[in-house]
Amino acid sequence: MAALVDAHWHADTCAACHRPVDPAVAGHVRFGEFWYHEACVPTCRTCGQSVRAEDEVAWSYRAQVVSTSYGYAQRPTSFLCPDCLDGALRDEAPYLD
């Protein structure tokens, strides 16, 4: 039974503040597998626009993998909205000598 709780940790805690989230209660935003309190909703790192659940497919995010007591998990570190993503510079290819 503990494996079921651990496998769904994202639905139980806010990805930003790591406090409990109750998806059945209004005032929470889901973005992919992550839940946020309305006060913790991330913003685009370029323009500051807030993430909205309905725009989830078009947004991009970076995350780091962290070790937890039950395995590994992603922790989002920055977000880009669709408009800023379209205009963002792409990583340059490494120079080949």
Number of domains the chain is built from: 1
User: DSSP code of 70?
Assistant: T
Distance CA 21, CA 14 (A): 6
For 95, other C-beta atoms within 10 Å of its C-beta total 5
| pLDDT above 60: residue 11 | no
CB within 8 Å of 5: residues ≥ 6 apart: 12
Question: Quick count: other Cβ atoms within 10 Å of Cβ 92?
Answer: 6
**Whole-model pTM?**
0.65
pLDDT in tens, 40-66: 999 999 899 988 777 777 888 888 898
Query: Residue 34 maps to which CATH number?
Result: 2.10.110
**Between these two residues, 5 and 12, which has the higher pLDDT value?**
12
Residue 95 lies in a domain: no
Give the domain range for residue 66. 2-87
